[in-house]
């Protein structure tokens, strides 16, 4: 009766982290509960049907779940909740997708009424073929993803036992010279490979690329890697050449500028989702080779059309990589049904504690608008309001003060509005990377920054994703894409890569007080605060005074 866990009526689980059994408890509940918030004292996990089915997919049963809750709970667990958990988990696996020697892909059931129920659904009817026997119905092989998605929505998730095609073999090995996969990366690769397909959740900077490389070395087959943008594609290529037996020639880039198809091909979401005359001309990429593995980088950004294509790729192994399963569009269930269940995750703070990502000091600096700006803000059109408050002149002064304070360290200034960035670049005497900067110029500047030739770099949101700036120790965010939580996480990620000298990273967010900028900032920070990154709040005056 003195466990570390408290079960709430809304199916959240509160875990007291300072409790002596906290670690055991976390391990026991992690398979079925999603970590929702991880502030300093009490972590919040949520039990959702999706999470429970994830657990079933990973081979856990209801009894284990109930036992874990009952064992660690401080207060008695309401009976109704236990019954509900058992019933929900029981829904998984009543339906199975499998290969039938004569009929191809079939949906079978162990519980006939369930099959009758789902077959009655209008959405399932077009996906299935003839009834083979009372418990079996044929499924059109092309609808394997669709039917999984639909059945999940009906609350009867199907277990996919139809297996995978091996794909075209291609030798890939990790070249572990002077480095090895970290334990959690190994674990992630192992869990993924064991499970067949699925998603690995790791914090930014925790080496997701290496999990991808490790998985490729396991698959040893041709691989299609889908990434968010060209810079990221180059980085993947660079990393793969460096860490694996693959050579430059074996890796192709399929983007707006190049259209190479090689045994390992890296394509951008953008090129795949380009539409011409109502068709997606680059879809053939999926069929251009007999891919054995498909890697989705940044699954939480996966655009809707890619889900649709993915539905057709259910026979191939799929690996999703992401820092967070939170999607701003709420399509987490599509990730589950089409790419696969979560196979591995680790809280940020834990990896930080292991020394694999740098500790960060997050500070929100509140600046006051001048009287003139306040009036302008008050009278601005709604859509202009954010721009007005986000680009206040005071932010420039604060940014300069921060840059002065950390003079000599590698500093990134990140913002949304080009005018503001140009002005900052001018005042800080730093180069500005924005949409119109060419890729060559970008890489040149990044290299210079990496080498320490430049200390301060001003970047727009083009640098949001996957750029690797190992020596950035300070980031200053002056404006952002409204309230995007994952952008904030990505930006913080810029400074979380472990520092050579092991010193602390700093993340500054400059926010205009009493405006929607402040509201957006609060929304953006919520994810990080929930991950345990506590923001300090400072007044601009304090900061400016401190330096004077």
Partner 1 sequence: MSGDEKPAAAPRSLAEALRARDDASLAALLRARPDLITPVPTDLTQLATRAGTRASVVRALERLDRFALQTAEALAVAGDPAPYGELLALMAGDDRDPETAAALPHALGALREQALVWGDKDRLRLVRTARELLAPSPQHPSPTGLGPTVQEAASGMSPGRVQEIVAAAGLPSTHDAVSAVTALTALFTDRARMSELLADVPADSLQVLDRLVWGPPYGQVTADPAPRLRLLLDRGLLLPTAPGTVVLPREVALHLRAGRAHRTPEPVPPAVTASAAHPAPVVDATAAGQAYTALATVEELLKDWDEGGPNVLRAGGLSVRDLKRTAVALDLPEPVAAFWVELAYAAGLLASDGEADERYAATPAYDDWRELPPADRWARLARAWLAATRTPGVIGDRDAKDRTLSALGPGLDRSAAPEVRHRVLSLLAALPEGGAPDAESVLARLRWERPLRGPRRDGEHDLRARLARWTLSEAELLGVTGRGALSAHGRALLGAPPAPAAGHAADDVPAGPGDKLPVHRHRPPRPAGDPHGPAPLTPAEQADATAAAARLLAPLLPEPLDHVLLQADLTAVAPGPLRRPLADVLGVLADVESKGGATVYRFTPASVRRALDAGRGAADLHAFLAEHSRTPVPQPLAYLIDDVARRHGHLRVGAASAYVRCDDDSVLNEILADKRSAGLGLRRLAPTVLAAQSDPGALLEGLRALGYAPAAESAAGDVLIARADSHRTPPRTAPEPVPDGPPAPDGTLLSAAMRAIRAGDLAATAPRRPPADAPPADDGALPRTSAAETLATVQAAVLTGEAVWIGYVNADGAASQRVIAPVRVEGGFVTAYDHTADEVRTYPLHRITGVAELAEEAAADPS
6-65 binders of partner 1 (CB under 8 A): 6-10, 12, 14, 16, 37, 39-42, 44
To the nearest 10°, report the CA torsion of 30, 32, 33, 35: 50
Pull the structure tokens for residue 103. 């009929």
Q: Which of 154, 261, 529, 544 binds partner 1 (CB under 8 A)?
A: 529
Min separation Cβ 173 and partner 1, Å: 43
Cβ atoms 449, 430 nearer than 8 A: no
In terms of CB distance, is 32 or 72 closer to partner 1? Answer: 72
Min separation Cβ 38 and partner 1, Å: 9
In terms of CB distance, is 63 or 248 closer to partner 1? Answer: 63
Which residues touch 511 (CB under 8 Å, ≥6 apart)?
A: 364, 365, 366, 367, 517, 518, 521
* Residue 539, φ and ψ in degrees, nearest 5: -85, 145
Q: Which of 120, 276, 277, 536 binds partner 1 (CB under 8 A)?
A: 536
Q: Please report whether residue 541 would count as binding partner 1 according to CB under 8 A.
A: no
State the Cα–Cα distance between residues 67 and 291, nearest whole angstrom: 41
Q: Please report whether residue 374 would count as binding partner 1 according to CB under 8 A.
A: no
Min separation Cβ 492 and partner 1, Å: 15
Q: Please report whether residue 74 would count as binding partner 1 according to CB under 8 A.
A: yes
Min separation Cβ 40 and partner 1, Å: 6
Helices (H), 58-109: 62-72, 79-91
Q: Which residue has the tokens 């399509």?
A: 331
Cβ atoms 224, 180 nearer than 8 A: no
Stretch that binds partner 1, among 333-341, 353-361, 423-431, 522-530 (CB under 8 A): 522-530
Q: Which of 482, 498, 530, 544 binds partner 1 (CB under 8 A)?
A: 530
Q: H or E segment at 159? A: strand 158-160
Q: Which of 25, 30, 52, 77 binds partner 1 (CB under 8 A)?
A: 77
| Burial environment of residue 378 by CB neighbours within 10 A (0 to 12, 13 to 18, 19 or more) | exposed
State the Cα–Cα distance between residues 312 and 43, nearest whole angstrom: 38
- Neighbour count for residue 277 (Cβ, 10 Å): 5
CB-side exposure of 176: number of CA atoms within 13 Å?
10
In terms of CB distance, is 41 or 277 closer to partner 1? Answer: 41
End-to-end CA distance of the chain: 56
In terms of CB distance, is 7 or 28 closer to partner 1? Answer: 7
Min separation Cβ 304 and partner 1, Å: 31
Min separation Cβ 14 and partner 1, Å: 5
Which residues touch 196 (CB under 8 Å, ≥6 apart)?
A: 164, 317, 340
| Burial environment of residue 518 by CB neighbours within 10 A (0 to 12, 13 to 18, 19 or more) | middle
Min separation Cβ 381 and partner 1, Å: 24
Q: Which of 86, 119, 376, 537 binds partner 1 (CB under 8 A)?
A: 537
In terms of CB distance, is 39 or 359 closer to partner 1? Answer: 39
State the Cα–Cα distance between residues 221 and 290, nearest whole angstrom: 9
79-108 binders of partner 1 (CB under 8 A): 79-80, 82
Min separation Cβ 496 and partner 1, Å: 18
Q: H or E segment at 473? A: strand 472-477
Number of residues that bind partner 1 (CB under 8 A): 34
In terms of CB distance, is 290 or 541 closer to partner 1? Answer: 541
In terms of CB distance, is 237 or 506 closer to partner 1? Answer: 506
Q: Please report whether residue 111 would count as binding partner 1 according to CB under 8 A.
A: no
Min separation Cβ 43 and partner 1, Å: 10
Q: Write out the residues near partner 1 by the rule CB under 8 A.
A: 1, 6-10, 12, 14, 16, 37, 39-42, 44, 70, 73-80, 82, 513-514, 526, 529-530, 534-537
């Amino acid at each position: 009766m003195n466990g570390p866990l408290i079960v709430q009526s809304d199916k959240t689980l509160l875990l007291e982290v300072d409790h002596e059994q906290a670690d055991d408890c976390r391990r026991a509940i992690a398979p079925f509960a999603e970590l929702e918030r991880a502030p300093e004292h009490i972590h919040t996990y949520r039990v959702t049907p999706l999470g429970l089915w994830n657990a079933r997919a990973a081979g856990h049963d209801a009894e284990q779940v109930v036992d874990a809750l009952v064992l660690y709970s401080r207060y008695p667990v309401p009976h109704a909740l236990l019954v509900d958990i058992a019933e929900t988990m029981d829904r998984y696996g009543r339906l199975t997708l499998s290969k039938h020697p004569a009929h191809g892909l079939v949906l079978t059931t162990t519980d006939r009424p369930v099959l009758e129920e789902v077959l009655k659904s209008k959405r399932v009817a077009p996906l299935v073929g003839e009834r083979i026997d009372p418990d079996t119905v044929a499924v059109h092989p092309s609808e394997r993803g669709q039917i999984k998605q639909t059945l999940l929505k009906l609350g009867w998730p199907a277990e996919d036992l139809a297996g995978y095609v091996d794909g075209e073999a291609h030798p890939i090995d990790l070249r572990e010279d002077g480095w090895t996969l970290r334990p959690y990366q190994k674990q992630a690769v192992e869990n993924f490979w064991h499970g067949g397909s699925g998603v690995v959740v790791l914090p930014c900077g925790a080496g997701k690329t290496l999990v991808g490389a490790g998985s490729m070395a396991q698959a040893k087959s041709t691989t299609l890697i889908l990434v968010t943008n060209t810079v990221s594609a180059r980085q993947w290529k660079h990393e793969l050449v460096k860490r694996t037996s693959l050579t430059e020639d074996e890796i192709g880039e399929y983007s707006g500028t190049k259209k190479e198809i090689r045994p390992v091909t890296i394509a951008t979401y953008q090129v795949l989702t380009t539409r011409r005359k109502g068709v997606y001309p680059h879809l053939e990429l999926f069929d251009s080779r007999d891919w054995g593995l498909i890697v989705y980088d940044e699954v939480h950004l996966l655009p809707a059309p890619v889900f649709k294509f993915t539905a057709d790729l259910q026979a191939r192994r799929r690996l999703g990589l992401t820092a967070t399963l939170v999607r701003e569009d709420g399509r987490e269930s599509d990730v589950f049904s089409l790419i696969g269940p979560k196979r591995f995750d680790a809280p940020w703070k834990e990896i930080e504690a292991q020394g694999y990502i740098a500790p960060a000091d997050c500070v929100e600096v509140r600046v006051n608008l001048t009287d003139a700006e306040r009036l302008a803000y008050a009278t601005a059109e709604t859509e202009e309001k954010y721009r007005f408050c986000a680009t206040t002149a005071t932010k420039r002064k604060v940014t300069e003060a921060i840059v002065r304070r950390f003079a000599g360290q590698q500093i990134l200034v990140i913002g949304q509005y080009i005018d503001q960035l140009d002005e900052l670049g001018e005042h800080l005497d730093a180069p500005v990377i924005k949409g119109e900067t060419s890729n060559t110029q970008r890489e040149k500047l990044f290299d210079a920054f990496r080498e320490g030739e430049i200390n301060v770099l001003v970047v727009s949101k083009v640098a949001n994703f996957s750029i690797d700036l190992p020596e950035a120790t300070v980031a200053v965010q002056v404006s952002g894409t409204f309230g995007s939580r994952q952008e904030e996480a990505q930006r913080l990620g810029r400074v979380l890569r472990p520092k050579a000298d092991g010193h602390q990273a700093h993340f500054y967010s400059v926010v205009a007080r009493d405006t929607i900028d402040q509201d957006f900032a609060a929304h953006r920070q919520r994810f990080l605060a929930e991950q345990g990154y506590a923001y300090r709040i400072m007044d601009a005056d304090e900061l400016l005074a401190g330096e004077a």
